[in-house]
Chain A
Amino acid sequence: MSGTGDSILRVAEVERRFVPELGLGDRIAGWLGMGVDARPVRAVDGVTLEIARGETLGLVGESGCGKSTLGRLIAGILPPSAGEVLLDGQPVMRDGRKVTTRIQTVFQDPFASLDPRMKVGETVAEGPIAHGLTSRADAPAYVAQWFARVGLDPEWAGRYPHQFSGGQRQRIAIARALAMQPDLLVCDEPVASLDVSIQAQIINLFLELRRDLGLTMIFISHDLSVVRHLADRVAVMYLGRIVELGPTADLFAHPAHPYTAALLASVPKLVLQEGSLVEFSAIEGEVPSPLDPPPGCHFAPRCPRAAAACRAGRPPMRDLAPGRRVACLFPDLPPG
């Protein structure tokens, strides 16, 4: 799935800048000619992507890399500062407003994403009624169908969010997204706040839904083992840019970008043999401030392979092998 065949979503040169909101004191200081930091943060910095119909794309990276912002740009929650997001050739947003219901989102925190004063059945029915996917009269049966689909007892539609466990609340959030009959589901850390034993239940639900409904999914996660399990392709982000993109198994087996390699090596593995404690090959240093990213390749200051050319300009994204792209001047070449 290189994304070139039957593509459903196209992200073209998308950029998102955030300008810090200055308090009154800062603004006065600015007028008085003092150096006030009002530089914009480029949370997403020129990202181009294509997603094929029916595929699951994993979006990984560390905090502040821009993966959630990119997810929001794709879902039409945030307008891009430059570039465009196209669903089947049509813009997802117009004049700062989302103009499609075909993209829905599932967030990390099912506690925050459900209205505590609304019965969960009403929460799920709200969107479909507003968009004419069902009528008020048919809504209970419509909701019951989606409850059953995500493994919830339809009888529970009359209950309130606090009467459910974390895993059940996440099922409700998924039912709400699915009831809009989306083609593309953007999932931002949907299992991160769940207990391990509940995580497996929700991952299995995603596997089923993808198979049965032919959903296209963007799965944003900091947990590489979850992404490895669910994603067909993976995009690795670092400081607002995609640095590597490829089929999951290939990318995990042979990371081409030095950052991907370092990231994979940092993940603790389950140690099953006494005395075989793996030495962590930690990446040196920390992610630089997005307010003041280094010139050229953003990873260069931490990269063991960086040369002068890396600091001179942004390394272009290039093809290494079919479906494998990397933004590095000195990548590890996959075998074969």
Chain B
Amino acid sequence: MTPVLEVADLRTHFLTRAGVVKAVDGVSFALGRGEILGLVGESGSGKTVTGFSLIGLVDPPGRIVGGSIRLEGRELVGLSQPELRRIRGREIAMIFQDPIATLNPLLTIGQQMEMALRAHQRVSPRAAAARSAQLLEQVGIPSAAERLRAYPHQFSGGMRQRVAIAIALLHQPRVIIADEPTTALDVSIQAQILHRMRALARETGTAMVWISHDLAVVSSLASRLLVMYAGRLVEEGPTAEVLRHPRHPYTAGLIASLPAMAPPGAPLRQIPGSTPSLMSLPPGCPFRPRCARASAACAQMPPLARAGARAWACHRPEEA
């Protein structure tokens, strides 16, 4: 099966006065039709910049300086903004962490959905309203037809995020990039939305890149997992397998540090040090200064080693 999205050696750098920040530095992966791929990492790992790169929303001083992003075989890197606008929203859409920033406070939900529809197709106001109401219902907004006349401030945070999801789904895109879409929501609302997203991916065949710092959320949603650290992919594989038997010491440390992994009140396993500044990365493996397994070999950048569905970038991986 050909992947719907293929990313090869993606490099997005920020050319700042203080130097070059390699926010994404050589990321490759493929996304299958209807697949939900989890992209996890901590702040500064490059997961959000990867998401923004995929949809062509990197602003200066950031720039995609290399690599390729193919959506159903079509190269996106190097397209002009008008060309990207024709694709964005229709074939690839994004859901952000903060739905307030996505929605225009001066327009009703119905007006915004109609505008989003008309950006890519000719529809009558009546057809637009019908389609919008249908989608709001699909994402679990009750009495959808009436809610179209409401303004964003009349919705709760959870309801606004549902509206953002409905807008992302308007054109049945091939791919949705979701950047921490439930992080700002309460757990009960998060559970409702995760449940709904899983069903939607199944029903519509839309593939998703689900960006999150929360391993538990990703594990309940994504079939495959990518782990990023300091702008690089350090591990990839089927989610449950990676969580059970991580190969990269960073992934292993991240899982072991979860409170759920220790008996109540017992000290947690911790990764020493802090996430590195991308301005002053050590040569070789960026995790080396925090890694208990590091050796002299780690002064060389480890390549991504593959075995079956698994991959890891480590000279001294954990036992299989």
> Contact residues of A with B, CB < 8 Å?
62-63, 165-168, 195-201, 203-204, 207, 222, 224-226, 228-230, 248-249, 262-263, 265-274, 276-283, 286-287
Contacts and interface: CB of A to CB of B under 8 A. Distances in A.
Chain B interface mostly helix, strand, loop or mixed?
A: helix
B243 A196 contact: no
A286 B191 contact: no
A195 B275 contact: yes
Nearest to A276: B240
A268 B260 contact: no
Contacts of B262: 229
Contacts of B257: 196-197, 199-200
B244 A272 contact: yes
Contacts of A263: 187-188
Contact of B188 (A228, A229, A262, A277): A262
B187 A266 contact: yes
Interface size grouping (class) on chain B: 35 or more
A167 B290 CA distance: 15
Contact of B186 (A63, A197, A278): A63
Interface in B221-256: 238-241, 243-244, 253-255
Given A207-B265, A270-B219, A271-B240, A195 B188 contact: no
A273 B42 CA distance: 24
B42 A197 contact: yes
Interface in B179-209: 186-192, 194-195, 198
Nearest to A248: B264
B250 to A, nearest CB: 8
Interface stretch (B76-84, B89-97, B120-128, B266-274): B266-274
Interface stretch (B54-62, B105-113, B210-218): B210-218
A280 B194 contact: yes
A168 B267 contact: no
B186 A272 contact: no
Given A166-B274, A266-B188, 17 more contacts: A195-B43, A197-B271, A197-B274, A204-B267, A225-B258, A228-B259, A228-B264, A249-B264, A268-B217, A268-B219, A268-B220, A270-B216, A272-B243, A277-B220, A280-B191, A282-B191, A283-B192
B158 interface: yes
A303 B189 CA distance: 15
A306 B267 CA distance: 41
A266 B190 contact: yes
A277 B215 CA distance: 14
B159 interface: yes
